[in-house]
Amino acid sequence: MGSIVDINLQLCTGCGACVALCPRNILFINKDTGTCAVSDETKCDKLRGCERVCMVDAIKIH
């Protein structure tokens, strides 16, 4: 999913840790799937805070 913010939906538990941390508020939990999603990835700061907070390595920044 996405060319900058890459979320592995098989691994994501929907814990919301990355959503709470993201300074650009571009991550959210998809209510239908229960997993993380990105809105406007062009706003990503690419500082990888979400990568560091994710306990299951489900989110990667490219």
Q: Which is nearer to ligand SF4, 16 or 31 (CB)?
A: 16
Look up residue 11 and give its DSSP letter.
Answer: T
Residue 16 corresponds to which amino acid?
G
Q: How far is the CB of 62 from ligand SF4 (least distance, A)?
A: 10
What's the closest the beta carbon of residue 58 comes to ligand SF4, in angstroms?
Answer: 4
- Cα separation, 28 vs 25, whole angstroms: 8
Q: Which residues are near ligand SF4 by CB under 6 A? A: 5, 7, 12-18, 21-24, 26-27, 36, 44-50, 53-54, 56, 58-59, 61
Contact 33, 9 (CB under 8 A): yes
